[in-house]
Amino acid sequence: MSRHYIVGDPKADELIDALVEFCGPEPRNRELIREILTTSVKIGREISNRGELKLINSSLKEMRYALKLFCPFEGTRRAVIFGSARTPETDPHLPGLPDVRQDHGRERLMVITGAGDGIMAAAHEGAGYENSLGFNITLPFEQHANKTVHGTSHVLPFHFFFLRKLFFVKEADGLVLCPGGFGTLDEALEVMTLIQTGKSPLVPVVLLDAPEGRYWLDALAFMQTQLRDNGYISASDLKLIRIATTPQQAAEEITGFYRNFHSSRWLKDTFVIRMNHALNEQAIAELKHEFADLCNSHGFTQQPYSSSEADEPEFSDMIRLAFHFNGRDHGRLRELVDFINQPQHWKQ
């Protein structure tokens, strides 16, 4: 077992070893638990500022509690819906939002929102309590949870915006962004930045507006003329987002994303896409031609589960599409996902 990360005090390291035994982690997690405990001891020895210690303490406790909250929902896909708490009940978005969850429900997706009123309340009302999770933020105003999740274990209050945003992205298998204020725009741009840079896994991002609405169309026009045309982003970066004008379209974008694509990960320098269906030979040949720009070398291969993924045995029955991804063109990667999701490319 690697022991490069230690306190350096034999007595402290011996006590940490004893605590690791007390925690009783799975064997594959023992070294991670050891490093977490070692970090805690280092913090105690190296940081004396009480304000900084309170920040670390509060952040760690919020993360632990949030992760514990999600344990019962492990394995269930989740759709995050962003939007304004100030949206009035007469807004054209509200009547349709519950339909998003109804379509998700057939795919067993839960709905996560900021737990507030407006669009968030409408989404939770349509989903119902059992299929709703809320990430509330503690503020001097607009901080109460909506009636669906208020006062229940399905609402998680956050003190820190950065942790709340971390969990929004971490737990999202799809994101639907409705018109909103600074917070909604902040979340939209952060989500796109994280996916664009590969810091967050690729998931469907849908901008939902009313049929005659201009909110997202105007935002996209700005991105095209000021960001893309000036070279601040690549043209393919805009492939990461889709426009929808009805909740049904938004739901279809999300459920369609997982028609064949299941998930992805890195195995050292190889990028692996897990698929529900193997691709036929013609599709592989077409991939090698149409998406060669995504590969640093060697092209695309299909392969079964291997020992290098032993930490995720639950996915052992899935076929893999493996290639040396350049790690840069995530908009083009989204186009590749669209390709493998087309049934005519699957092996019969």
Q: What is the DSSP string of 240-265?
A: GEEEESSHHHHHHHHHHHTSSEEEEE
Residue with tokens 């402290």: 12
**58 part of a folded domain:** yes
> Are 201 and 224 in the same domain?
yes
Q: For the chain (length 348 residues), average pLDDT per consecutive 10?
A: 79 93 86 94 95 96 91 85 82 59 56 89 86 85 79 87 92 93 91 94 94 94 97 95 91 92 94 97 95 92 89 90 95 97 95
> Are 79 and 205 in the same domain?
yes
CA distance 222 to 230: 11
Full strand arrangement of the beta sheet holding 241-244: 155-158, 132-137, 109-113, 77-82, 174-177, 205-208, 241-244
CA distance 261 to 337: 7
> Are 44 and 114 in the same domain?
no
The Cβ of residue 216 has, within 10 Å, a number of other Cβ atoms equal to 20
pLDDT at 117: 86
> Are 62 and 192 in the same domain?
no
> Are 20 and 140 in the same domain?
no
pLDDT at 98: 53
**337 part of a folded domain:** yes
> Are 238 and 316 in the same domain?
no
> Are 121 and 238 in the same domain?
yes
Beta carbons within 8 Å of 126's beta carbon, 6+ residues apart:
97, 98, 99, 100, 101, 102, 111
pLDDT at 97: 59
Which of these three, 257, 281, 300, is where a domain ends?
A: 257
> Are 199 and 308 in the same domain?
no
Which of these three, 236, 257, 278, is where a domain ends?
A: 257
**59 part of a folded domain:** yes
**5 part of a folded domain:** no
> Are 246 and 140 in the same domain?
yes
Domain span at residue 48 reads 10-69
CA distance 219 to 173: 23
Beta carbons within 8 Å of 48's beta carbon, 6+ residues apart:
none
pLDDT at 1: 43
Nearest CA to 93 among 196, 195, 176, 205?
Answer: 176
Reported pTM: 0.87
> Are 164 and 123 in the same domain?
yes
> Are 242 and 100 in the same domain?
yes
Which of these three, 48, 69, 90, is where a domain ends?
A: 69
**3 part of a folded domain:** no
Q: Tally the domains of the chain.
A: 3
CA distance 84 to 151: 21
CATH number, domain containing residue 91: 3.40.50.450
> Are 253 and 272 in the same domain?
no
